Amino acid sequence: MARDPRYDLLFEPVRIGPVTARNRFYQVPHCNGMGHGHPHAHAKMRETKAEGGWAVVCTEEASIHVSSDISPYVEARIWDDHDLPALELMCEGVHRHGALAGIELVHKGPSCANLYTRETPWGPSHQPVNSYDPIQVRAMDRADIRNMRHWHREAALRAKRAGFDVIYVYAGHDISLPMHFLQRRRNERTDEYGGSIENRARLFRELIEETKDAVGDRCAVVVRLAVDELMGPEGLTSETEGREVLELLGELPDLWDVNISSWYNDSQTSRFAKEGFQEPYTAFVKKLTTKPVVGVGRFTSPDTMVSQIKRGVLDMIGAARPSIADPFLPKKIEEGRPEDIRECIGCNICVSGDFLITPYRCTQNPTQGEEWRKGWHPEIIQAKASVASVLVVGAGPAGLEAARALGQRGYAVHLAEATEELGGRVNREAKLPGLAEWARVRDWRLGQIEKLPNVEIYRASRLAAAEIREFGAAHVVIATGSAWRRDGVGRAHSRAIPGFERPEVFTPDDIMAGKLPARGPVVVYDDDHYYMGGVIAEKLRQAGFEVALVTGADTASAWTANTLEIKPIQKRLIAAGITLLVKQEIAAFRRDHVALACVYGGPATTHPCNAVVTVTARLPEDALYRELVADKAALDEAGIRSVQAIGDCWAPATIALAVYAGHRYARELEAPVAPAVPFRRELPREVV
């Protein structure tokens, strides 16, 4: 299909110093949990984005020196020449598809405790490291600053040798040495590197100048700067010192990549920020420089992108998460099929990989991180192995993805859903406060299935075992999901909580189905620790109930520390007037109160309530699966060759894992049996 001429603007080349980007799509640096630990997986993941049309594809933070060791997190390293083969792999892959390869050189200063290298952390002033590690940063003297500049220059030269076209000087977020020098609250120096903004920007300026001098003949030297830290006068703001840095250095680098800080502000989830949310903070930048400006804002709509450029907000469309959810986003716009874009839902499951030190996973894109390991391409799948038909039972994320990917393989697919609506849990959860964009998990799959004539959908079709046997499909996939427990059993309780048998106890399924308590106050018991307890509390508060959230953890929704949401969630719950009773477990639900036990042995207390919503654990809805597999003879008689349960029906987990399970089923159907380790590993090479 021809490209919509309205989007032509997005495909204009952009000159960045000595290099030219083929279009305006720029994959900004982003973590991925692979880094130096999984170089092949990392290189293939970046290459896939270049293949998908991104004009610039960058690494994550690449540490320039042993004094900048961010362990245990796994990022890129360019400490010496031993790190180059891994980085060369990426450059080769990116260049193969005509894109520019960028590297984000970083010295993390006080933001690393150097747990692996055991070097002394450096910073502008004596201060504790940013983490809770009981280690202090040493204030750099002039010789240290000279050394650091030398290391940066050396790293830039190595990066050029590795083949990079775009080389960063990094002052983004709250986690780099140049940024720490810029920050008045962290820079107590009285020499030429402290005091006035000119002085605090000196190191940043020197690094840009010296990098240009070292590699600027062939490489673009670009900067990343957080122009607003969203903390008022305590930090940089776009009205004050963020702007002043631009006034001082505006023409120095070849491109400005600007964002807001810290990471939890920069990568806000859709629960807290919508597409283009950084514009109010970064829009001023273009007025202060003639150099190209790139910025992010979870852009997935080509109309929004065009508007950013036409209105003079940005020159290039920066993206991390949208490029993870759909590495082929630019290609899809270019080929006139923007409706095929697999839009990021803003859940930050990807980000959790960084905190949990595992390769990134994505809710929308089950192939993310599997490009090299399993050889999964986001757009291509192997053709069907036979003419067999497949019956998929249940149209939640697992069933929808299985049906879509099986359909893409060419199988005759029948998707039966008990209810009138498709989407399963995504359908219900997207109606909870702030989660509307999660419906994209359903919508993208339905949009793709509509284009597949070999996938048939049967709504309002709750299938029983006998009907499945009669149906006559060769393979049956059971994706019937899960249901929240009512008895309080979960992590904290291995037996039912006394009083939870009462009719005043509700589950998230009840609340999502519109079954609300007759009267409050309501206690939400969060023993799940992800988003559900918090959003249910929010929903009940919006419905006018007096609400308290009880959890044995130190905060509500404790696991969301991994999705950068823990702070905004606490703020939102507190602002809504929800009482947070943390470090408490419910011991019993009695007449008009819950009895609480402090997890650290403090005094037992009570809290008044007339209803409880229990958010502890889910049980698979697997009765149908169990019934089918229990009668092998009947399956044989019906000509059913395989029955498999997937997603929450197999073991309740995240939406990301349900999508992955559906995708994996489709990839592996009638494929050769996978070996014991069903993926390639990057084993240490130097073990002798």
> Smallest distance, Å, CB 274 to ligand SF4?
13
Pairing relationship of beta strands 642-645 and 475-478 according to DSSP bridges: parallel
Neighbours of 679 (CB within 10 A): 14
> Smallest distance, Å, CB 624 to ligand ADP?
5
> Smallest distance, Å, CB 304 to ligand SF4?
16
Q: Give bridge partners of residue 523 from the DSSP assignment.
A: 548, 612
User: Using CB distances below 5 to 8 A depending on partner kind, what does residue 111 bind out of ligand ADP, ligand SF4, none?
Assistant: none
What is the pattern of x (binds ligand SF4, CB under 6 A) and - over residues 131-150?
Answer: --------------------
Q: Is residue 362 annotated as a catalytic residue, yes or no?
A: no
Residue 300 lies near ligand SF4 (rule: CB under 6 A): no
Residue 203 lies near ligand SF4 (rule: CB under 6 A): no
Residue 27 lies near ligand SF4 (rule: CB under 6 A): no
DSSP-H helix ranges across 119-194: 142-162, 177-182
Among residues 49, 137, 647, 660, which is the contact residue for ligand ADP, using CB under 6 A? 647
Residue 469 lies near ligand ADP (rule: CB under 6 A): no
- Report the C-alpha gap between 662 and 427 in whole angstroms: 17
Q: Is residue 91 annotated as a catalytic residue, yes or no?
A: no
Annotated catalytic residue within 26, 168, 170, 665: 170
Give residue 172's identity as a one-letter amino acid code: G
DSSP of 390-441: EEEE--SHHHHHHHHHHHHHT-EEEEE-SSSS--THHHHHTTSTT-GGGGHH
Residue 364 lies near ligand SF4 (rule: CB under 6 A): yes
Choose one: 56-64, 354-362, 475-483, 672-680; the region binding ligand ADP (CB under 6 A). Answer: 475-483
Torsion of Cα atoms, 648 then 651 then 656 then 658, to 10°: -40
> Smallest distance, Å, CB 496 to ligand ADP?
23
Among residues 390, 406, 540, 624, which is the contact residue for ligand ADP, using CB under 6 A? 624
- Report the C-alpha gap between 461 and 418 in whole angstroms: 4
Residue 406 lies near ligand ADP (rule: CB under 6 A): no
User: Using CB distances below 5 to 8 A depending on partner kind, what does residue 419 bind out of ligand SF4, ligand ADP, none?
Assistant: ligand ADP
Residue 305 lies near ligand SF4 (rule: CB under 6 A): no
Residue 655 lies near ligand SF4 (rule: CB under 6 A): no
Query: What tokens does 152 get?
Result: 């940066």
Hey, CA dihedral for 233, 234, 239, 240, is it positive or negative?
positive
> Smallest distance, Å, CB 521 to ligand SF4?
34
Query: What tokens does 300 get?
Result: 């997935």
Query: What tokens does 210 get?
Result: 């010296």
What is the pattern of x (binds ligand ADP, CB under 6 A) and - over residues 413-452?
Answer: ---xxxx----xx---------------------------
Give 345 or 535: the residue with its C-beta nearer to ligand SF4. 345
- Report the C-alpha gap between 451 and 448 in whole angstroms: 5
Q: What are phi and psi of 444, to 5 degrees?
A: -65, -45
User: Using CB distances below 5 to 8 A depending on partner kind, what does residue 398 bind out of ligand SF4, ligand ADP, none?
Assistant: ligand ADP
Annotated catalytic residue within 165, 228, 254, 266: 266
Q: Give bridge partners of residue 412 from the DSSP assignment.
A: 389
Give residue 324's identity as a one-letter amino acid code: I
First-residue to last-residue Cα distance in the chain: 55
- Report the C-alpha gap between 57 and 48 in whole angstroms: 10
> Smallest distance, Å, CB 167 to ligand SF4?
26
Q: Is residue 347 annotated as a catalytic residue, yes or no?
A: no
Q: Is residue 266 annotated as a catalytic residue, yes or no?
A: yes
Q: Which of residues 340-359 bind ligand SF4 (CB under 6 A)?
A: 344-350
Give 111 or 427: the residue with its C-beta nearer to ligand ADP. 427
Report which of 449, 360, 347, 329 is spatially closest to residue 400, judged by C-alpha positions.
449
Residue 568 lies near ligand SF4 (rule: CB under 6 A): no
Residue 430 lies near ligand SF4 (rule: CB under 6 A): no
Report which of 225, 267, 272 is spatially closest to residue 246, judged by C-alpha positions.
225
User: Percentages helix, strand, coil for the chain, rounded to the nearest 5?
Assistant: 35, 20, 45
- Report the C-alpha gap between 164 and 59 in whole angstroms: 10
Q: Give bridge partners of residue 415 from the DSSP assignment.
A: 392, 457
User: Using CB distances below 5 to 8 A depending on partner kind, what does residue 321 bind out of ligand SF4, ligand ADP, none?
Assistant: ligand SF4
Residue 259 lies near ligand SF4 (rule: CB under 6 A): no
Q: Which helix (H) or strand (E) holds 608?
A: strand 605-608
Annotated catalytic residue within 65, 173, 180, 414: 173
Residue with token string 């009205």: 239
Residue 114 lies near ligand SF4 (rule: CB under 6 A): no
Binding-site ranges for ligand ADP (CB under 6 A): 393-399, 416-419, 424-425, 462-463, 479-482, 621, 624, 647-649, 658
Binding-site ranges for ligand SF4 (CB under 6 A): 321, 324-325, 344-350, 362-364
Catalytic residues: 31, 170, 173, 266
